[in-house]
Each structure stands twice: as C-alpha cells, then as structure tokens.
C-alpha cells in the first residue's frame, strides 16, 4: 500500500512541476515497481 501512495505523490509532484502527463509514463518504467518485489 505504501508503494501506491508513493507513486501517487511522486506522480502528482512530477505532473505539477512539468504540467505534462509525460512524467507519469517515466515513473511507471522507473524502478519504483521493482522496489516492491
């Protein structure tokens, strides 16, 4: 559940800074998901 929260916060922060949905895709490919398993 923590991963989901982190991803949400990180996505919001990135989107807020860039204002584009591009960082969202980067986050998905980032090692964020690998940290879980």
**Cα distances (angstroms) measured from residue 13 to each of 19, 20, 37:** 9, 11, 24
- Residues near 4 by beta carbon (within 8 Å), at least 6 away in sequence: none
Give domain status of residue 37, yes or no. Answer: no
Angle, nearest 10°, between helix axes 2-18 and 22-29? 150
pLDDT at 36: 47
Examine residue 13 and state whether it is found in any structural domain, yes or no. yes
Q: How many domains does the chain have?
A: 1
Q: By CB neighbour count within 10 A (0-12 exposed, 13-18 middle, 19+ buried), where does 4 fall?
A: exposed
Q: Which domain holds residue 6?
A: 2-28
User: Does residue 36 belong to any structural domain of this protein?
Assistant: no
On whether residue 14 sits in a domain, the answer given is yes
23 part of a folded domain = yes
| Consecutive 10-residue averages of pLDDT for the chain (37 residues) | 59 59 52 49
**What is residue 37's predicted lDDT score, i.e. its pLDDT?**
46
pTM: 0.21
Judge whether 34 lies within some domain: no
């Amino acid at each position: 559940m923590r991963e989901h929260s982190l991803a949400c916060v990180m996505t919001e922060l990135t989107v807020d800074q860039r204002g584009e949905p591009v960082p969202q895709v980067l986050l998905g490919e980032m090692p964020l998901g690998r940290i879980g398993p």
